[in-house]
């Protein structure tokens, strides 16, 4: 922000992404809070791959200052120096219930059932980090998940290793696609999104694929959201572009 309180031009795209994300959180809150009405503990949120935590701080402010909801938020990231800085900011700003931890999403674990997050969010968690976050959310029976994936290399690397066989097979109707790196990358992204959506559906989530924000604002990122329980409609959003997809899903409880 400038001294006058205006958003710096070079950060406006990030500002728009975060505000869009907050709209999704606001959208799923009624159903999440309905599911929690028999619970006494505060709303719990985990932000995996929080980075510098622009989104994390915004979510905390939105919930505590605007929605007046008591919450506990944990931000997780691999960079120790960044996490130390975020914890210092949280202390300086008096953000009660907001803490940051250093750790890998793939290895993160909290064995205390009372610490299971109600909502899990990820903004630009790279490659399989998004998949580990989704797996954790399902295992902990998260009521809602909002996830904006980033780069997706896993399937693309597998196709790259077998591109000669795939592109030369006369029986493969997608052979022309696998000849070209850009097209192969886009197909890989579609396959990744499809498998994620299918995984969530098999775990009891209803999934819709939708657009997050215009590509001009986030050329290679995506977003995803899901949530669980009756009355909570889930959506899984998908970008028009293969590299910038978004999913936002709200869930309507186990089938």
pLDDT by residue, tens only, the chain of 255 residues: 788 878 888 888 888 889 989 999 999 899 899 999 989 899 999 999 999 999 999 999 999 999 999 999 999 999 999 999 999 999 999 999 999 999 998 888 776 767 799 999 988 777 788 889 999 999 998 999 888 777 777 888 888 877 777 777 766 777 788 788 888 888 888 888 888 889 988 988 777 676 766 444 444 444 455 555 433 333 333 333 333 333 333 333 333
CB-based burial label for 44 (10 Å; 0-12, 13-18, 19+): buried
Instruction: Quote the CA–CA distance of 137 and 102 in Å, as a whole number.
Output: 19
Residue 117 CA to chain centroid, in angstroms?
Answer: 14
Distance between start and end Cα atoms, the chain = 46
Whole-angstrom Cα distance, residue 107 to residue 128?
A: 13
DSSP string across 121-178: EEEEE-TTHHHHHHHHHHHTT-SEEEEEE----HHHHHHHHTHHHHHH-TT-TTHHHH
pTM > 0.75: yes
To which H or E segment does residue 91 belong? helix 80-92
Integer Cα distance of 84 and 28 in angstroms = 30
In 4-93 the beta strands, taken as DSSP E runs, fall at 43-48, 71-77
Residue 131 CB partners (closer than 8 Å, separation 6+): 154, 196
């Amino acid at each position: 922000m400038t001294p006058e309180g205006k958003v710096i031009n070079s950060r406006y795209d990030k500002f728009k992404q975060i505000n869009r994300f907050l709209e999704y959180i606001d959208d799923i809150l009624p159903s999440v809070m309905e599911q929690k009405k028999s619970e006494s503990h505060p709303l719990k949120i985990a932000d995996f791959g929080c980075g510098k935590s622009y989104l994390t701080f915004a979510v905390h402010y939105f919930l505590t200052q605007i929605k007046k909801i008591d919450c506990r938020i944990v931000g997780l990231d691999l960079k120790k120096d960044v996490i130390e800085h975020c914890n210092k900011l949280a202390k300086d700003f008096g953000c009660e219930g907001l803490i940051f931890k250093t750790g890998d999403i793939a290895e993160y674990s909290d064995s205390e059932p009372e610490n299971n997050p109600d909502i899990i969010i990820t903004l630009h968690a790279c490659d399989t980090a998004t998949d580990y976050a989704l797996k954790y959310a399902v295992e902990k029976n998260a009521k809602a998940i909002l996830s904006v994936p980033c780069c997706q290399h896993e399937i693309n690397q597998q196709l790259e290793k077998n591109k000669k066989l795939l592109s030369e097979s006369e029986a493969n109707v997608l052979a022309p696609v696998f000849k070209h790196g850009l097209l192969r990358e886009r197909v890989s992204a579609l396959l990744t999104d499809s498998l994620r959506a299918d995984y969530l559906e098999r775990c009891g989530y209803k999934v819709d694929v939708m657009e997050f924000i215009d590509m001009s604002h986030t050329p290679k990122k995506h977003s995803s959201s899901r949530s669980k329980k009756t009355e909570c409609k889930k959506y899984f959003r998908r970008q028009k572009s293969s590299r910038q997809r978004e999913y936002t899903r709200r869930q309507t409880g186990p089938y």
